[in-house]
């Protein structure tokens, strides 16, 4: 099978995940149009196909690639989640994008930094009621990969092409924090609690006198998670 290329900077989009008076956290993602374009480029428009199937009320997508050597279709399947609007359409699109991740398109996004944090001095924000908002848009200005197809450098800019975030992957043996830091699962669990409670990452780091989440050891992680779990969930938007 043909090797699927890595995503270009202009094919990666940024979405605001959380926002507080301290700043915003961003997530990287790809859309279905990127998946379709790469499938066409790699396998030709007639070399792949997609089908959808409803199972127990959930919509699944199967993407199949024609293997000319084995003379058969190779398929990958995944389920989608519904958005707030046009739920059937969003579920179909989400299941397609997830199936494409299984094939290998955009899988490098899983190696992005666990927390992409843009401080408040680099974002135009305003407060509406008890919630902070921003109309700023962000995009990946440049991205680099290592030989393992992992993200090794990342630069994000705003709509005016002003850099608001830059990151270079630490060398494995160069940083003690990288050796003793948290696992990806622990970092994801921490982020979920931050989203649930509305507590800013900066506040947690400040409390434990840390500069980056990668510096948080197992004991500090346990203390932070215990404190967050005792915190009430933020009020839902009316």
Phi-psi region of 5 (alpha: psi -120 to 50; beta: other; left: phi over 0): beta
Instruction: Output the pTM of the full model.
Output: 0.68
What is the pLDDT at residue 177? 42
According to DSSP, the β-strands at 138-145 and 151-158 are: antiparallel
pLDDT in tens, 205-235: 888 888 777 788 888 888 889 888 888 887 6
The string of DSSP letters for 21-33 reads TTEEEEEEE--HH
- In angstroms, the first-to-last Cα distance of the chain is 50
Per-residue pLDDT at 171 exceeds 80: no
Residue in the structure block whose two tokens are 């397609």:
96
Higher pLDDT: 202 or 166? It is 166
pLDDT in tens, 60-116: 999 999 998 899 999 999 998 875 555 667 889 999 999 999 999 999 999 999 899
Kindly compute the dihedral angle of the four CA atoms of residues 3, 4, 7, 12, in this order, to the nearest 10 degrees.
Answer: -170
What domains can be seen in the chain, in order of their start residue?
A: 1-26+111-169 (no CATH), 31-105 (3.30.160), 176-229 (no CATH)
If you average pLDDT over every residue of the chain, what do you get?
88
In the chain, DSSP assigns E strands to 13-20, 23-29, 48-55, 58-67, 72-79, 116-119, 125-128, 131-134, 138-145, 151-158, 163-168
> How far are the Cα atoms of 5, 56, 172 from residue 76, in angstroms, in the given order?
18, 19, 33
């Amino acid at each position: 099978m043909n090797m699927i290329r890595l995503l270009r900077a202009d094919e990666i989009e940024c979405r605001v995940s959380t926002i507080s008076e301290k700043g915003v956290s961003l997530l990287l993602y790809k859309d279905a149009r990127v998946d379709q374009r790469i499938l066409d480029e790699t396998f030709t428009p007639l070399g792949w196909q997609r089908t959808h199937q409803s199972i127990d009320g959930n919509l699944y997508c199967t993407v199949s690639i024609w293997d000319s050597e084995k003379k058969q279709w190779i398929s990958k399947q995944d389920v989608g989640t519904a958005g707030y609007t046009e739920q059937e359409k969003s579920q179909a699109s989400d299941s397609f994008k997830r199936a494409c991740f299984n094939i290998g398109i955009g899988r490098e996004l899983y190696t992005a930094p666990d927390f992409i944090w843009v401080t408040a001095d680099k974002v135009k924000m305003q407060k509406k009621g008890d919630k902070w908002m921003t109309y700023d848009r962000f995009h990946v200005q440049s991205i680099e990969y290592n030989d393992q197809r992992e993200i090794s450098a990342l630069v994000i800019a705003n709509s005016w092409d002003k850099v608001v975030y830059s990151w270079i992957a630490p060398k494995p043996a160069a940083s003690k924090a990288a050796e003793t830091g948290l696992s990806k699962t622990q970092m994801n669990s921490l982020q979920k609690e931050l989203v649930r409670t509305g507590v800013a990452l900066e506040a947690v780091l400040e409390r434990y006198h840390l500069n980056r989440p990668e510096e948080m050891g197992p004991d500090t992680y346990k203390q932070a998670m215990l404190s967050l779990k005792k915190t009430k969930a933020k009020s839902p938007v009316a």
